Each structure stands twice: as C-alpha cells, then as structure tokens.
Amino acid sequence: MQLLLPRAMASLSAVAALLLAQTAPAAAQSAGWQPGPGAALDNTYDGFIDVPSTGATVPGGSSFTLAGWFVDKTAQGWAGTDDIQVWLGTMDGGGQMLAKALFAQSRPDVGAAEGNPFWDDSGFVATIPGSAVPAGSQTLNLYAHTPGKGWWFKSVSVTGGGSGSSGGGGGGAAAPTAPTAPAAGGAPQLTILNPTSNQNVSTKSDYTINGRVDDAHDDIDVWINGERNTRYATELGTTTPTGDGSWSLTFAPTHFPSTHSILYIYARNRASNQETLVSVEINIVDR
C-alpha cells in the first residue's frame, strides 16, 4: 500500500490542493477494512483514503472533499463496490451519513500498481458540507458495500472547524440558499431560487437552475460535484443576468450518476472582480 501511495497522491493533486496539499501516511487511518452492517465472508479488500489526511482541519464554512480508492481483490471485471458512503460515527451505532460518494472513478494508477486493468476505475470522491462536522476531533468512517458481503469501512480522524451538529438528516447540514451578505469591496449578493436544498432532480428531462444577483454586471459560473477546476468537478456552464439581476442555466441531469450531488454556483462582479460562492445540495434521481 505504501508503495502505491505516492502514485495515488499524484493523481489526486488537484483534490489535495483544496486541503493545502496535506499528505496521507499509512498510519493516518485505521489499518485495513473493518466489518460493518451485514459484513460476511473474508476480508479481501484494499484501498486508501487519500484526502483528507489524519488530523487535517476541515473547513466549517464550506465543503471539503474526501477521496481515495477501494477494490475487492476477488472482484472479476470491476473494482467490486456498488455503494460508498461517508459517515460521522458508525452506520450501526447512531452515526450520521454525511454524503454518498461517486465511485467507479478513474484511477489508472491503482490498476497499474495492482496489475489489474479492471481496477482502473476504483476511485471514489465525496463532497461533504463542512458545517456537518462539529468542531474538535472527529472520526469520519468511509463505508464500502460489496454484493453479498455487506458493508466494510475504514476510518480517518480529522479536526472539525465548523459549527455543525451531529444530529439532523442524512445529508448533513444544508448548504445556504438564502442571499449571502456582500463582502467588502463589492462581492455579489447571490440568491439561489431553484433548486432548493436537497431537492430531487430527475434524469428524465433537462433542469433549469435559476436565481438572482444584486448587480446585472455579475457573471455566473455553475459546477457540479466539486469546486471549480478540481479533479472530479464538471462545469455546467456560464451565464449573465438580465437587467433586473435574474439569471438561469439549464443542464442535462442524465449525464450524471443518480446520487447525492452538490452544485457550486459562483457570482463574480466584473468591475470589482470580487466573487461569491453558494453551494446547494441536490439528489439526482432516475425517475
């Protein structure tokens, strides 16, 4: 595993930049994979949480990324997992689910190091609202589910920097969709009207994101599943407001997995070059 780590960190450099390029030594997290709910048969798993590293302070006022890779060494033709989730606390011990991860992500470095090209798609990435991780020392548990063998998990310790609580719904604290206060120097005041927090967005038709800004001279830039220009993020598009500050942007949800996702919406004032970011959690559903 330690021989693989430098390659894994290299392929995730863009994600790690969000966390100040912290390293993730093998001692940073629980050794091996531990049995969770419904766990059965032998432990045949390998994988690593590349970011955040042990003891990293995660932001309280914005989202952060948890990413790495997972394989079931007995899997034939694929990496072996059909679901990955991130929990604060344990799944069967009153914990709180923070996010569903995107899995089967490209990790050719893993396939090369393990000598199995079918494990090229063993990566996972989850975007977690920092406000859902209470201040102080916390344990994040990454749960991977394999067909017929139940849930198995690995842990990493972090320091919460936020004001979230351990209670609440499975998606953690909701990201703000109300207007944000303008920052000094002319940062835009951005309001998201649609979608609302944790709204279901169907893959069956195009969906229009819309809102308002306080200045028609603002530019709007919308990303999904990561902040701008990070490894797993996709830009949905850019738009400009009308004269009254209204704006809208339409995208095709069918191009994305049916899972919990986060939209990152940027408003930049062309005159001051000041920028405001608002994130909104949604659920892409195949119905």
| Confidence band of 30 (pLDDT split at 50, 70, 90) | low
**For the structural domain made of 190-285, what CATH number should be given?**
2.60.40.10
Radius of gyration over every alpha carbon of the chain, rounded to an integer in angstroms = 19
Q: Which of 14-18, 47-51, 61-65, 160-164 has the lowest mean pLDDT?
A: 14-18
Q: Who has greater pLDDT, 129 or 91?
A: 91
DSSP-derived secondary structure for 136-180: EEEEEEEEEEETTTEEEEEEEEEEE-B---S-S-TT-SPPP-SPP
Mean pLDDT, range 39-50, rounded to an integer: 92
Q: Would you state the pLDDT for residue 19?
A: 34
The owner of tokens 């569903």 is 100
Question: How do the domains of the chain map onto residue ranges?
Answer: 5-160, 190-285
Amino acid present at 254: T
Asked whether residue 168 carries a pLDDT value surpassing 50, the answer given is no
Strand 246-251 to 234-239 pairing = unpaired
Top pLDDT among 7 and 26 is at 7
| Angstrom distance (rounded) from CA 54 to CA 22 | 9
Between CA 163 and CA 75 the distance in angstroms is 41
Q: Domain 5-160 adopts which CATH fold? A: Immunoglobulin-like (2.60.40)
Q: Is the pLDDT of residue 174 over 50?
A: no
Average pLDDT, the chain: 80
104, two tokens? 């089967």
pLDDT over 60 at 203, yes or no: yes
Which residue, 282, 265, 273, 250, is CA-closest to 192?
A: 265
For residue 195, cis peptide bond before it (omega within 30 degrees of 0):
yes
Q: How far apart are CA 152 and CA 45, in angstroms?
A: 9
More confident of the two residues 24 and 111: 111
The pLDDT of residue 14 = 38
Buried b (16+ CB within 10 A) or exposed e, 101-139: bbbbbebebbbebbebeebbbbbbbbbbbbbbbbeeebe
Least confident of 33-42, 104-113, 135-144, 155-164: 155-164
User: Does this chain's domain 5-160 share its CATH topology with 190-285?
Assistant: yes
Q: How far apart are CA 122 and CA 47, in angstroms?
A: 9
For residue 17, the SS3 value is: helix
For range 10-19, the mean pLDDT: 38
Nearest to 202 by CA among 259, 286, 262, 263: 286
All residues at 6 or more sequence positions from 273 whose CB lies less than 8 Å from its CB, including other chains: none
Burial letters 177-207, b for 16+ CB under 10 A, else e: bebbebeeeebbbbbbeebeeeeebebeeeb
Predicted structure pTM score:
0.53
- Helix H or strand E segment including 8: helix 5-11
Most confident range, picked from 10-24, 28-42, 193-207: 193-207
Asked if residue 130 lies in contact with residue 61, where contact means CB atoms within 8 angstroms, the answer is yes
Q: Per-residue pLDDT for 46 more than 90? A: yes
Rounded mean pLDDT, 42-58: 90
pLDDT digits (tens, 9 = 90+) for 121-161: 999 988 888 889 999 999 999 999 999 899 999 999 999 87
Cα separations in angstroms, 156 against 33, 153, 258? 12, 10, 26
Stretch 188-216: mean pLDDT:
91
Mean predicted confidence (pLDDT) in 78-82: 94
Is residue 5 over pLDDT 90? no
Identify the top-confidence range among 81-95, 172-186, 223-237.
Answer: 81-95
